[in-house]
Structure 1
Amino acid sequence: MKVEKVTATDAALELIEKLKRRHGPLMFHQSGGCCDGSSPMCFPEGEFRVGASDIHLGSIGNSPFYMSKDQYEYWKHTQLIIDVVDGRGGMFSLEGPEGKRFLTRSRVYSDEERKALQEEA
């Protein structure tokens, strides 16, 4: 059983495709706070520097999604579900001018999913 650590809603995937047409390949990083709160941030691929303290959780819309290792420790028991809502998001994230913002929702893994994730590790 393959367990996805990050997924996206249809609405988020539609916005990702729109942004890819405008900006080319994209990447995401789950912000841990500071200037833009704790929202998923969308960048042109390679514009955000991923470091040794970041982990690749998977991809949404064929775009890589990263989170800091420290923050992942708090979220590791949940699947991240990236959604989109109306409103202004992070000032550095590409969706801002669209009048939309990406939003992270989550759900707790089932016992079966947790077991599969432990076997992967």
Structure 2
Amino acid sequence: MSKRYPSWHREAAVRLALPYLDKGDSPYAIAKVIGPLVGVHPGTLRAWICKELAEGVQPSGDLTDLSAAERSELQRLRTENRELKRIGADRRLRSSAVPTVRLQVDIDRRQLAGLLLCIQGRGD
């Protein structure tokens, strides 16, 4: 939770913004308009709106008909999904970097071999 804004300020700003999602506006567009009116930076308000949506609040402001146990399970699964996506992205990044490093090592070895041959007087 934000330390700069009291919780009632955050809740009021989000409650004011949520009905506009029913009209098809994006959280960013809503935050850009409402944020300055309530004294909150648009990026901060957009993050609050997205967090509320992720926690199961409907755009109309009503909670879904999930029980507390179901809501906590959904939150746990979303957190696990984010972590797995992050791990997958790390693995893809590492696997794409490995062939580049190997290629660079092979080139360096060839250059080193050519340099040694020149030093020994065998290469032209």
**The structure with more radius of gyration:** 2
TM above 0.5, yes or no, is no
**TM value normalised by structure 2:** 0.26
Q: Using CA pairs under 8 Å that are at least 6 residues apart, name the structure with larger relative contact order, 1 or 2.
A: 1
